[in-house]
Homo-oligomer: A and B are copies of this chain.
Amino acid sequence: MRNPQLNAQGELQHLLTTEGLPREILTAILDTAEPFTEVAEREVKKLPLLRGKSVFNLFFENSTRTRTTFEIAAKRLSADVINLNINTSSATKGESLLDTVDNLAAMQADMFVVRHASSGAPHLIAEHLANTGKDHIRVINAGDGRHAHPTQGLLDMYTIRHYKRDFTGLTVAIVGDVLHSRVARSQIHALTTLGVPEIRVIAPKTLLPSCVERLGVRVCYDIHEGLRGVDVVMMLRLQNERMQGALLASPQEYFKSFGLTPERMALAKPDAIVMHPGPMNRGVEIDSAVADGPHAVILPQVTFGIAVRMAVMSMLGGAK
């Protein structure tokens, strides 16, 4: 079965997940993003690569932050951007997801950036476009359920490569609510493909998927053991709805056991970097002294995120 993200020539057609993306494609995206970080420093931050293209931000789940990063990336490529918060519109009129997609496709869309609470929704949309002869329309997954958030995974790879250059000697720890995290899944697949030899996941048992070891990671229930000697610490956000739930005693207890403090960071390599996809819960999963400290590369992640999204968009939708 062909990877639905690639066309017959093996070129990127949609970005749905980092799972199964070949190393050459991952590297090509990171390479394409490099010059875009410079564009952002210019007086005039515009390139004409998507001029006259219509990019639809289809947000079936609200996320101002993610929507903004795609909107700014598309506008810097000179696209026309249309924002649609679908929960507040025809979805409430009972229209099905695919009818909505058909309609927007008929408006001559060039690209859909899709955020959805259900795992697999962007994949379903891409498949439907292929089935209806509309596969010139590109789909970018901007986060679906617990499944994937590939542009977040890619910007994390960009950040690691920026600071560490080479993936093949690294030890990387992912800390937190792996169970509910689409970000963690996208990170693990990309790290593995790019050749990271040791990936550790650090979490309480209640926040780990069963059989997580099958992803090729080492499980650590103790943060001290997990952080020892790592080059990269990738924090996950603890969703508010987990904090008072059955899975955790309290945010305070969580911080006591798994919060990233300067003392714990001292176990990592001296030049280790700390990442977080944001928004942070200071004092829950991360101490402010670490968030604002010398190891943190959390704000550069955001900057690189714009460049990576410009790279993906220009590779998918640029003039042919």
Say whether A40 contacts B240, CB under 8 Å.
no
In the assembly, how many copies of this chain are there? 3
Nearest-neighbor residue (CB-CB) of A69 within chain B: B107
Say whether B43 contacts A319, CB under 8 Å.
yes
Say whether B46 contacts A52, CB under 8 Å.
yes
Say whether A280 contacts B99, CB under 8 Å.
yes
Say whether A64 contacts B80, CB under 8 Å.
no
Instruction: Determine the distance from Cα of A89 to Cα of B320 in the docked complex, in whole angstroms.
Output: 37
A240 neighbours in B (Cβ, 8 Å): 93-94
Say whether B62 contacts A93, CB under 8 Å.
no
**Which residues A283-302 have CB closer than 8 A to chain B?**
299-302
Given contacts A68-B84, A80-B76, A82-B68, contact A107 B46 (CB under 8 A): no
Say whether A300 contacts B106, CB under 8 Å.
yes
Instruction: Determine the distance from Cα of A303 to Cα of B82 in the docked complex, in whole angstroms.
Output: 16
Bitwise interface map of A from 82 to 122 toward B, beta carbon under 8 Å scored 1, else 0:
10111011100111100110111111100000000000000
Contact among B71, B80, B88 for A72, CB-based, below 8 A: B80
Given contacts A88-B62, A279-B99, contact A107 B306 (CB under 8 A): yes
Say whether B40 contacts A108, CB under 8 Å.
yes
Nearest-neighbor residue (CB-CB) of A56 within chain B: B68
CB of A258 to closest CB in B, whole Å: 18
A22 neighbours in B (Cβ, 8 Å): none
Asked if A164 is an interface residue, CB under 8 A from chain B, the answer is: no
Given contacts A76-B80, A299-B103, contact A52 B62 (CB under 8 A): no
User: What count of chain A residues pass the 8 Å CB interface test?
Assistant: 56
Say whether A279 contacts B95, CB under 8 Å.
yes
Say whether B302 contacts A107, CB under 8 Å.
yes
Say whether A89 contacts B108, CB under 8 Å.
no
A85 neighbours in B (Cβ, 8 Å): 64
Instruction: Determine the distance from Cα of A86 to Cα of B281 in the docked complex, in whole angstroms.
Output: 17
Nearest-neighbor residue (CB-CB) of A239 within chain B: B93
Say whether B299 contacts A93, CB under 8 Å.
no
Asked if A54 is an interface residue, CB under 8 A from chain B, the answer is: yes
CB of A187 to closest CB in B, whole Å: 19
Instruction: Determine the distance from Cα of A84 to Cα of B100 in the docked complex, in whole angstroms.
Output: 22
Contact among B64, B90, B100 for A86, CB-based, below 8 A: B64
Say whether B106 contacts A89, CB under 8 Å.
no
Say whether B72 contacts A89, CB under 8 Å.
no
Which interface residue of A46, A103, A278 has the most chain B CB atoms within 10 A? A103
A278 neighbours in B (Cβ, 8 Å): 95, 99, 103
Asked if A42 is an interface residue, CB under 8 A from chain B, the answer is: yes
CB of A143 to closest CB in B, whole Å: 14
Instruction: Determine the distance from Cα of A107 to Cα of B155 in the docked complex, in whole angstroms.
Output: 13
A-B contact pairs, 7 of them (CB 8 A): A46-B80, A65-B90, A65-B103, A68-B107, A75-B80, A90-B279, A107-B302
